[in-house]
Each structure stands twice: as structure tokens, then as C-alpha cells.
Amino acid sequence: MGATYSQFFPPAPTLTEANIPRQDGRVFVVTGGASGVGLELSRLLYHAGGKVYIAGRSAQNAQIALTKIKAEKPDVPKARPPGELAFLQVALDDLSIIKAAVEKFTAAERRLDVLFNNAGVSNPPKGSMSAQEHELTMATNCLGPYCFTQLLLPTLRHTASTSSPGSVRVVWTASVAVEFAQTPDANFATPALVPQRDYEKSKVGNWFLAAALAKQCPEILSIVQNPGNLKTQIVRHFSSIVPLMAAPLLYHAKYGAYTELWAGLSENLTLQDNGCYVVPWGRLHPAPRADTAGPVQDLLENDSGVAADFREFCETATVKYR
């Protein structure tokens, strides 16, 4: 219970705009980078000198975000020149268009230092489906990011071969909902009776996918993080009373960006932490649930169990689109 409590009331962040190292020459992709946590994260990386691709479905929203970030003056002393911003159009709930987005990226870039699988959806209307007729939450939060990551893997591996160990990373996004999710089982494809259960299942799935990539590519640091309880559009599909009741426990989106920033850049993380779980505002989970951490270890150590089965579910659903 203490580990869950600390995710609602975390200690102060240790990596922020005040002390982020320079990121000159490094390339980042942030899915869902035009709003919420993704926007705040893109801002931090840009002002630290990185080249940031804001990946999302709406060119209009991305242009608004790019203009806003470029117009801002960073609130840090002795600010140095910013990096670059670009837009990468991709819709994670349509597997058929992800490959074209990756081809556009790789035509422009020879490296990718950190992929932030930040975008997600929570509690869409019951019965919502993706373009390929998968339950929408599972499609957006797991199948799309899995496909996107696998297509970007050659670029990530190439970058890792010429970079310091553990600096090339893939950061997946979970939620405090993992702490309350039902015990994982193999019923991945069937929508739940309650949309919140689909969300919980997808967030546990994101940890499974982080571990799966750690197993597949041990030279890339693949980790999952709960960004925190935040005031973002992720709650837009909830009843209006839910955000109102939860308001005292919700933090500004920039705090979620601090969590992702730590997961993506912290020198405290090494390849020995591959497949790990990060919690707000940037620290290793002190006590993950045994019934969730167990399948992760089964995958990492034995390449078996329900987490391995989930990887195979995602592989089967996406392979023809790669």
C-alpha cells in the first residue's frame, strides 16, 4: 500500500528543466507530443538542444504546439540555444499507416536516441474499435506502439551501436491503474464489460511490452513508467464528476514530463534495469505487485508465461503491417 500511496504523493522530482543535461545532436520521438505530458516533454527536450519529433495524427494541433514551444523563453538561468522541432504524422489506432510514418522518419534521420511511447487513450465509449477492428484502447495503447517500435528498431539498434551503453531507450507508458488492475490473464483480445478494465489491461500490457523489448534487444534500455496522476486530456472520456472528485490528487502535466524525462535520460538507469518500472516523479518502483512483476520476470528469464503470450498476441496482430 505504501508504494501506491507514494505514487499519489511523490517526492520532489530530481531531473527538471533546471538541471537537464544538454541534448545536442540527439534525436527524440514523442508520440502524443502535441498536448499534455507529451507537449511538456517535447518542450523540455527542445530547450535542452535535442531534435524532437512530435508524433500524432493532427498536423494542425502539432503546428500549434510547435509554434507555442518555439515562442516560449525557457524559465531557467543562462538558457542556451534550443534544438529543433518537427512533426511526424501517425495514428496509432490504424496499423496500416504506421509503416509510412516510419519510412518518412528514417528518410530524414539516421539515428533515434529515445522513443517515448507517450500517447494513449482511456475509457473511450464502450464498443469503440480501431481501423482493424481491435478494441480501441488496446489498439491505441499497445498494438500501435508495438508496431511503431518494431519498425523503428533498426534505427534504434544502429544508434545504440555507436552510443554509450544504456543511453538509447524506449520508454513505454503505464498508469497507477496497474496497481488496481485484475490479475493478468491470457484474455487479451476480448473487450471487457467495463471500459476501465480495458484501460487497466492495456497499461499492464505496456509493462509486458517493455520487458519483451528488453528481452529482444538487450542493448536498448526498454522501461515502462507511470507518469503520475495528472490534469490532462486522458480523462476526457470519464464522467464529468470523476475529474472533479479527483482534482485534489491531480498535478500539472509537466510533472508527468519529469517522470518520462527521468526514464529517458537519467544516468541512474543502466542496462541492468532493462524491463524495469519507473514511478513519479522519476524513481524505480519500490514494490511492484507480485502477480504483475512475476510474469515480467518469467518473460525476461524464461521467455514464457502470460507476458510472453501478450507479446505474441501483439506480434500476430501487427506483423502483416510491418
Residues with catalytic roles: 199, 203
Nearest to 167 by CA among 48, 286, 28, 41: 28
Q: How many helices (H) and strands (E) does the chain have?
A: 11, 8
Q: In this structure, are strands 221-225 and 169-173 parallel, antiparallel, or unpaired?
A: parallel
**In this structure, are residues 251 and 37 in contact, taking their beta carbons and an 8 Å threshold?**
no
* 75 exposure class (CB count in 10 Å sphere: 0-12, 13-18, 19+): exposed
Other beta carbons within 10 angstroms of residue 56's beta carbon come to 24
Helix (H) or strand (E) holding 284: strand 283-284
